[in-house]
A = this chain, B = another copy of it.
């Protein structure tokens, strides 16, 4: 993309309403614009990050054999009356009446709707196990929306639902989801720690929240410091292997790690004192096992191997996709702007032309641009007639991990500058070497 043709409305001033770094930086970098309290438009740069996260979520879910689908945003109230949640859910549920005076609602979650789909179409244990998921906009009418996309009202969420014949199979689905989430967050460049949590309005017997440590987190968390040394890494995983998934759950959840809702001082005291930590965390996902809480009242049964009907065991599993954009920024920024992890960066590299209009410089920039595009990468080329300082400031603000700076002086000795946004370190290299280095980072040829 050429910046002269792009829509990147960066702001010079820090918006007064933004209290935390991610909100401030998303507004300043031209990623979002508020349309009403807690509701945002995603401008082109923000949209690209959202899509990259979506794509990683899709890839990791499908790798585990979970099936993508899409449920609508508006739901009939009657479904929620069946589960008893229509009255139980508070004023955060946006209730709507359509022109025929039917009670509708803007879905805050989809347990009822997916259970309805299941009971309409599945009748035999032979069709299990089954996990369906979607990535769709949800609405929760927060009393005090704030912190930008971190606590918005209209938000994008991945929510998945497993259907299994018995508790053991559903426990495996739970573990499988935990593994997919560990992989997903690591690909996003985040460390998200699974912590024992409270089930809230979803209900259920067992649940873990995934928390990213950050000063601006809304939750107080307590954990054994050993947990932050754990990495999923690139180990091979067979999602049908019950013991392997169970082993990973144990590896990542056996140490003390709880939110304040489930924190137990007596148990925490058994952790060696030098490893006890308390901090703040941002919740970026949650997994639940809730057995037959929805399948029983809603009649979601299958015929078991013995011919008798059994209600299916279920769980639900959510990732806050739009909230993750904010969480990543909270975890990765400095005073000059955002620092995108390579996995989610909106553009793979920036190209800064120090002397627009100088034939040799323009030509070198075009060459680098073309080679990166031909390799399947998306560079952002600042081809505007701006001074160098303004171009650097924009690149730092929007946080592309790599910058290639091209100017007449360097070109005289056949060099351009390759700069890492994260370390700030620069190297003088040939244009070809800069392209090869960037391609190497992203594993393309």
Which residues of A come within 8 Å of B, CB atoms?
Answer: 5-7, 9, 30, 33, 35-37, 39-44, 46-48, 50, 65, 67-76, 79, 91-92, 94, 96, 98-100, 102, 104, 106, 113, 116-117, 120-122, 127, 130, 132, 134, 137, 139, 141, 143, 153-154
Q: State how many angstroms separate the Cβ of A376 from the closest Cβ of chain B.
A: 13
State whether A94 and B94 are in contact (beta carbons under 8 Å apart), knowing that A44-B69, A113-B41 are contacts in the complex: no
Separation of A92 and B100 alpha carbons in the complex (Å) = 11
Contact residues in B for A106 (Cβ distance below 8 Å): 74, 96
Asked whether A70 lies within 8 Å of B98 as measured between CB atoms, the reply is no
State whether A137 and B73 are in contact (beta carbons under 8 Å apart), knowing that A65-B5, A121-B30 are contacts in the complex: yes
Separation of A75 and B40 alpha carbons in the complex (Å) = 10
Contact residues in B for A68 (Cβ distance below 8 Å): 44, 47-48
Asked whether B35 lies within 8 Å of A71 as measured between CB atoms, the reply is yes
Q: Which of B6, B47, B104 contacts A70 (CB 8 A)?
A: B47
Asked whether A44 lies within 8 Å of B67 as measured between CB atoms, the reply is yes
CB-based nearest B residue for A104: B36
Q: Which of A71, A74, A102, A113 has the most CB of B within 10 A?
A: A74
Asked whether B141 lies within 8 Å of A99 as measured between CB atoms, the reply is yes
Copies assembled? 2
State whether A7 and B132 are in contact (beta carbons under 8 Å apart), knowing that A43-B117, A68-B44, A120-B33 are contacts in the complex: yes
State whether A41 and B70 are in contact (beta carbons under 8 Å apart), knowing that A9-B121, A35-B75 are contacts in the complex: yes
Asked whether B73 lies within 8 Å of A6 as measured between CB atoms, the reply is no
Separation of A154 and B46 alpha carbons in the complex (Å) = 25
Contact residues in B for A154 (Cβ distance below 8 Å): 72-74
Q: State how many angstroms separate the Cβ of A322 from the closest Cβ of chain B.
A: 10
Asked whether A47 lies within 8 Å of B33 as measured between CB atoms, the reply is no
Contact residues in B for A67 (Cβ distance below 8 Å): 6-7, 44
State whether A36 and B76 are in contact (beta carbons under 8 Å apart), knowing that A41-B117, A96-B96 are contacts in the complex: yes
Asked whether A72 lies within 8 Å of B39 as measured between CB atoms, the reply is yes
5 contacts between A and B (CB under 8 A): A7-B127, A42-B69, A42-B70, A44-B132, A98-B153
Interface of A is mostly: mixed
Contact residues in B for A30 (Cβ distance below 8 Å): 121
Contact residues in B for A37 (Cβ distance below 8 Å): 100, 102
Asked whether B35 lies within 8 Å of A76 as measured between CB atoms, the reply is yes
Q: State how many angstroms separate the Cβ of A145 from the closest Cβ of chain B.
A: 10
Q: Which of A44, A65, A92, A99 has the most CB of B within 10 A?
A: A99
Asked whether A70 lies within 8 Å of B50 as measured between CB atoms, the reply is yes
CB-based nearest B residue for A58: B51
Contact residues in B for A33 (Cβ distance below 8 Å): 117, 120-121
Task: Give me the 4 closest cross-chain CB pairs, A-B, nearest first.
Answer: A9-B121, A36-B76, A42-B70, A44-B67
CB-based nearest B residue for A71: B41
Contact residues in B for A117 (Cβ distance below 8 Å): 33, 41, 43
Separation of A127 and B50 alpha carbons in the complex (Å) = 25
Instruction: Identify 13 new A-B residue pairs, CB closer than 8 A, beyond the known A37-B102, A43-B117, A73-B73.
Output: A9-B122, A33-B120, A35-B71, A35-B75, A36-B74, A36-B104, A40-B72, A41-B70, A41-B113, A47-B68, A73-B154, A74-B139, A94-B96
Q: State how many angstroms separate the Cβ of A83 from the closest Cβ of chain B.
A: 15
Contact residues in B for A100 (Cβ distance below 8 Å): 37
CB-based nearest B residue for A10: B121
Separation of A71 and B35 alpha carbons in the complex (Å) = 9
CB-based nearest B residue for A155: B72
Asked whether A36 lies within 8 Å of B102 as measured between CB atoms, the reply is yes
Q: State how many angstroms separate the Cβ of A353 from the closest Cβ of chain B.
A: 18
CB-based nearest B residue for A112: B35
Contact residues in B for A143 (Cβ distance below 8 Å): 99
Contact residues in B for A130 (Cβ distance below 8 Å): 7
CB-based nearest B residue for A77: B36
Q: State how many angstroms separate the Cβ of A138 from the closest Cβ of chain B.
A: 10
